[in-house]
Copies of this chain bind each other. A is one copy, B any other.
C-alpha cells in the first residue's frame, strides 16, 4: 500500500503524465523526452527518476543512452486500489436506484 503514495504522486504532475503519454507511443531516450518540453535535461531526468521509483517506467542501458518504456506494475496496483472505489460507487448507485425505485411508485 506504500507504493501507492509514489504512484499517485508521480501521476499528479502534468509533465510526468505527458512523459507517460509520450512513452505510450513507444520507447524513448532521455533527450527525446526532453525535446518536446520547455524544461532542462536535469529536470526531465529527475521526473524520470520519480516515474521509475513509482514503478511506472523501466529503463535499459544502451551505450550511453537510457531508453525508457512504460512498466505495468504501478498501473496494476492503482487499478486494484481504484477497484475498491468503483465497487463502492456502484453499490451506492444501486442503493440510490433502490431508493428511487421505492419512491417513484408512491408518487
Contacts and interface: CB of A to CB of B under 8 A. Distances in A.
A76 to B, nearest CB: 9
Interface residues of A, number: 33
Nearest to A26: B92
Contact of A70 (B9, B17, B81, B88): B88
Interface of A: 1-2, 4-5, 8-9, 11-14, 17, 20-21, 23-26, 69-70, 72, 75, 78-79, 81-82, 84-89, 92-93
Interface of A is mostly: helix
A86 to B, nearest CB: 6
Given A70-B89, A72-B89, A72-B93, 19 more contacts: A1-B14, A2-B14, A4-B11, A5-B13, A8-B9, A8-B12, A9-B9, A12-B12, A17-B81, A21-B84, A23-B88, A24-B84, A26-B92, A70-B88, A70-B92, A75-B85, A75-B89, A79-B86, A82-B82
